[in-house]
Structure 1
Amino acid sequence: MTRISGRVLTWAFLLVTAVLMLLPIALAMLGSFKTNQELNAGTALLPQAWQLENYVYTWQEAKFSVYVWNSIIYSVGATLSTVIVCSLAAYAVARKTFPGRKLMLAVYSAMMFIHMGVLTLKPAYQIMVTLGLHKSVVGLIIMMTGAGGTTFFILYAFMRSISKELDEAAMIDGAGSFYIFSRIVMPLCTPALGVVGLFAFRGAWNNYILPLVFTMSQPHLQPITVGLTNIRYGFGGAVQSHLMLTGACISMIPMLVMYILANKSFVQMNVGAVKG
């Protein structure tokens, strides 16, 4: 009876949690099929008439397709650059010994407790201006590389768990550092790379402050996060909440696809943690 009661309480807790997490998403999806007047009135949960043209209008007339395309470019570029840079840095710190290694890790770890987004925004923008990249896609991708340092520590911890005897055996056979990194270490880090890629993509996809600053004078380069604000207030000064919800629902699709693709990596990471 105790075991059954524990299971019932566990499932009840999980069910309530799932409902609380999914309810806002369900309300947003239902709101995207309403008219603006009906949504603001809040008289009914279900739409009186399903406004499918909201999605057509948002995608075409509100130029949401441009925002989606820009976000895909930024997110994919930031994900690839983050995976490359952080994997190289994690390999160097986890598998090599050099002066100042422990100090660098300590400083880097301490800086993660400080929200650097607003503090570093102005100097980072000035650097991009000096390099002439403040009005380009490349400059924004560079700024979003790293995903806040979390990705580096995920790869660093995962690489440390890999036996260094593999490196020593490869070096005896004449393999260099790059060969060991690309042919031995990286294939073993596939689960961590999947998780890192998801975090980097999510961070770039949901980023608002950096794209707002870098694309303020370049409307054709604005991503979804900035475009949603434009859609809400960009039509005659009237608040178009139903179109904003429609755009938000569209913006959820790529993230859901990424979570589905990275689900196997999460499972493999959890299994590895349990075995460890």
Structure 2
Amino acid sequence: MRRSAAETAVGGHSGSFMRRLYRLPSKLIIGLFLLAVLIFTLFPLLVTVLGSLKTNAEVTAGGTLLPNEWRFSNYAEAWRQADFARFSWNSLFISSMTTIIALLISAMAGYVVNRRTFPGKRMYTALQASTMFISIGAVVLRPQFELIVAMNLNASLWGIILILLGSHAAVFFMIIGFYSAIPRELDEAATIDGCSFYGVFFRIVLPLLRPGLAVGALFQFRNAWNEYITPLVFTMTNPKLQTLTVGLANLRYGYNAATQTHLMMAGACISLLPILIVYIFANRSFMQVTAGSVKG
């Protein structure tokens, strides 16, 4: 027998209700999982911020999350003891110059690799990839140091910048992905209008690459800012060139050789501010990238 329209409507509504009911457990599981990830991500940060406002004895004893006495003076003391003004400038200079130069190199190299064919192209790309997946760590510190000494850069921040520039492969491949979204017809049209190879790159392609450059700048700046081993090794003989990450380690022990965990936490909170500022400025580019990825 043929079902009436009312029965069909009721049956469809019932089926839709059952499908939504079946989806509830999966949504609940996903929600609980995301909540757990959020808690595990933010809880250490919360403990650090609150610990930076406690006394050293209170941090060492533990047992309470909130400080009994809110000591905002810990930040001023950490800033004074670790010479944060000098170390912050060193870190800012190294991170900024490393980011600018790495973006320029990656953008130019990515443009040539994406738009041109030349002998050794595959080998160059493979070498760039190998620097990402093959980490030899401290093994290269000695030859790197000898190279910098031979170039008379061991008493300058430029020696550290030169070493850190070797880790730009991730930005290189990231920018190549953005080049794939820029039509080649723009290059051809600009060439027909009389633009040279460099004119096409700097006047046409580079402005369109702005979101990719912003994302790459965030990752490169963060890596350079958080680097510890390389600045530590290259500034052992010249403490005035130490970066903020190295200076934070100096807060571990005070003048009486007692552990100063509360000051280390305060210094760590201060060192997070530049990364947050860079992210705020790059957030718009992140939104552009996300919006472009869902167009269809």
Same fold (TM > 0.5): yes
RMSD over equivalenced CA pairs, Å: 1.7
TM-score by length of 1: 0.94
Query: Which residue of the partner structure matches residue 126 of structure 2?
Result: 106
Query: Which residue of the partner structure matches residue 259 of structure 2?
Result: 239
Q: 1:128 aligns with which of 117, 138, 148?
A: 148
Query: Which residue of the partner structure matches residue 193 of structure 2?
Result: 173
- The 2-side partners of 1:161 and 1:103 are apart by 24
Percent identity (aligned): 44
Within the alignment, does 1:22 sit opposite 2:22 as a pair? Answer: no
- The 2-side partners of 1:96 and 1:136 are apart by 37
Q: CA deviation at 1:274?
A: 3.5
- The 1-side partners of 2:174 and 2:31 are apart by 31
- The 2-side partners of 1:121 and 1:234 are apart by 30
Query: Which residue of the partner structure matches residue 263 of structure 1?
Result: 283
Query: Which residue of the partner structure matches residue 51 of structure 2?
Result: 31
- The 1-side partners of 2:100 and 2:254 are apart by 33
Q: CA deviation at 1:116?
A: 4.1
Where structure 2 has 5 or more consecutive residues not aligned to the other structure, the ranges are 1-20
The answer on whether the counterparts of 1:144 and 1:204 sit within 8 Å (CA) in structure 2 is yes
- The 2-side partners of 1:188 and 1:260 are apart by 21
Helix, strand or coil at the partner of 2:250: helix
1:68-147 matches, cutoff 5 A: 68-147=88-167
The answer on whether the counterparts of 1:85 and 1:146 sit within 8 Å (CA) in structure 2 is no
Query: Which residue of the partner structure matches residue 218 of structure 1?
Result: 238
Query: Which residue of the partner structure matches residue 79 of structure 2?
Result: 59
- The 2-side partners of 1:169 and 1:117 are apart by 46
Q: Which has the larger radius of gyration?
A: 2
Relative to 1, partners in 2 of residues 1:89 and 1:13: Cα closer, same or farther, differing over 3 Å? same
Relative to 1, partners in 2 of residues 1:43 and 1:4: Cα closer, same or farther, differing over 3 Å? closer
Relative to 1, partners in 2 of residues 1:120 and 1:193: Cα closer, same or farther, differing over 3 Å? same
Where structure 1 has 5 or more consecutive residues not aligned to the other structure, the ranges are none
Query: Which residue of the partner structure matches residue 204 of structure 1?
Result: 224
State the number of aligned residues.
Answer: 276
Q: Deviations over 1:215-267 (max 9, x none)?
A: 11111111111011111125332211111011001111111111222122222
The answer on whether the counterparts of 1:33 and 1:242 sit within 8 Å (CA) in structure 2 is yes
The answer on whether the counterparts of 2:82 and 2:248 sit within 8 Å (CA) in structure 1 is no
- The 1-side partners of 2:156 and 2:126 are apart by 34
